[in-house]
Structure 1
């Protein structure tokens, strides 16, 4: 093959590579977001005890599928044992205000906790106040993979057969939390509150975060406990491509 033919082939290869780079999404660039916040009182009510619904959510103009996932997960926090979740946030708001008693309020929030390496970590919060001494708070996460266009489950995150090892690493994180808070020196606490698994797992840049509902591994007054597993402890457990900076 002549020099000119080799040069021509090389030029075509470079051009094709440039075109592919041009049209592939840059996963290091965060998705654009917009905030959508509103507070609605019960129609016709004008006194200080009016029921209200406060919704503070996030939209992704470039990814309508993620928009729908966010709304669905936010609605899951409104479910009760005797009724399914409403089909939309607007329907939930109307339903709540139609039946709510005075002093009742519902707060829902979805916010982007982090974006890195093609992952969008969204944290969901809820608080239902029915006028009692303690309201009902809720939390959850999703880890949305832009490359795979789906929410990652724990099974998606772990190498095959490594779930038990993951929860052992979580127990080490729990022990570290007990020591840092000095709760390991409280016999009554240790007797009552024990390590548990949680569905709320977030692949943040600084470590894998486990978040717990109130009154699961600690009293209500301590709120939503977060445990952190450093990535080095998950070598051979977490899929390599999910370590920050490797994808």
Structure 2
């Protein structure tokens, strides 16, 4: 059967699509850069004036193309408002409801800060970093951190099990522990420090552009003054451990 002729008007379209394939543009919309809308506000306790008024400061994100991500970010921020990890009280229904309840009961100088920011994006992945700071009158406030790694192809957040090949979780943490040892050496922290602050696994794992990020809560592997230590695990160290589609450029 002879080949069908290609009209001249169709050639530019083929060329454009060929270029788009090189740029991943013809593979779907997930290659587009995401520019979420910031939604930020700060309110003081109603009727209060002066420098010691309790306040709530919220800086969050809105994603036009991922409505489910908005709800996930809000829920994760609300989870960070709990005073203790084992708190069992129901979460507030919204950030606005949390703000109203906090300010209603707050005493002078209390404050609550919640923030979500798009830290990095590549391929089909968005890495959102969550931050909190809650001060209810103790010696110092309590900061919190967290990650959401969001797969735009799947329209869902990835757990560590989603990121790893089956049966590779222990191998992953062995690699992280090795880099924890390098972190100790880099910061000239000796055996006594490691004994007082031994290695732990962390719930905060994110897929960055150049490395897998593992962030730690305060008081986990370091004292409060050290803030939130973060370990960077280069992707080549995770061959055979991380799912191939989550290496940079393979999404």
Which residue of 201, 206, 212 corresponds with 1:202?
206
Question: What CA distance in whole angstroms lies between the structure 1 residues aligned with 2:35 and 2:197?
Answer: 41
The offset of 1:82, in angstroms, is: 5.0
CA RMSD of aligned residues (A): 2.2
Q: Which residue of 2 aligns with 1:63?
A: 66
1:173 and 2:179 aligned: yes
Is the contact made by 2:66 and 2:155 (CA closer than 8 Å) also made in structure 1? no
Q: Which residue of 1 aligns with 2:76?
A: 73
- What TM-score results when the alignment is normalised by the length of structure 2? 0.89
- What TM-score results when the alignment is normalised by the length of structure 1? 0.90
Q: Deviations over 1:10-43 (max 9, x none)?
A: x8xx98x95x978753322222211111110000
Q: Deviations over 1:156-191 (max 9, x none)?
A: 1001111111000010110110011011x3x43122
Ranges in structure 1 where 5+ consecutive residues have no aligned partner: none
Is the contact made by 1:36 and 1:56 (CA closer than 8 Å) also made in structure 2? yes
The offset of 1:79, in angstroms, is: 2.2
Secondary structure of the residue that 1:176 maps to in structure 2? helix
Which residue of 150, 154, 157 corresponds with 1:148?
154
Question: What CA distance in whole angstroms lies between the structure 2 residues aligned with 1:48 and 1:31?
Answer: 38
Secondary structure of the residue that 1:71 maps to in structure 2? helix
Question: What CA distance in whole angstroms lies between the structure 2 residues aligned with 1:72 and 1:131?
Answer: 25
- Paired positions, count: 239
Secondary structure of the residue that 1:228 maps to in structure 2? strand
Which residue of 75, 88, 98 corresponds with 1:92?
98
The offset of 1:131, in angstroms, is: 2.3
Which residue of 108, 115, 132 corresponds with 2:114?
108
Q: Which residue of 1 aligns with 2:195?
A: 191
